[in-house]
Structure 1
Amino acid sequence: MPIYEYLCDDCEKEFEELVFGDPAVICPYCGSARTGKLMSRCRHKSGGGGDAVGSAVPASSGSGSSCSGCSASSCAGCH
């Protein structure tokens, strides 16, 4: 089951939710049902250890490509 990132439209807090099917997602902070799914930026790991770095951006950001089809060498330009 996938874990998705969400943003609450009321309290503006980000949270993750394990999703089974297509349920209405409720904010765990304020209880609002006004939530929106976020799209995670691509992640990469360069040699030398350490964790990959990435963050979430709203799904409506207008990014037309997905990481799987991206030919860039880094995610610095993905917004």
Structure 2
Amino acid sequence: MPIYEYQCNSCGKTFEARQKFSDPPLNDCKVCGSGDVAKLISQTAFTLKGGGWYQQGYGAEGKPAACATSTGEGGGCAGCPKAANE
């Protein structure tokens, strides 16, 4: 569920609210209770969780896995930097 950031026009405080996409925007300030809030546009956070390309490939230290299209006889992908080193 996304986290939205709001700012109260009365007290000036900002607060966050976890809402579904289908939920209507908030109307009341969580800090002072005023009914004059505005939804802010803020930076988003992006997190990769679980197994996937980043954890299994680019994030791993050491020698990368063999090229999937390599023939094992010194051949490989055209233009592949790994094939040029073989």
The TM-score, its normalising length taken from structure 1, stands at 0.46
Which structure's residues are more often helix, by fraction? Answer: 2
Q: TM-score normalised to the size of structure 2?
A: 0.43
User: Which has the larger strand fraction?
Assistant: 1
Bigger Rg, which one: 2
Determine which structure has greater relative contact order: mean sequence separation of CA pairs < 8 Å that are 6+ residues apart, divided by chain length. 1
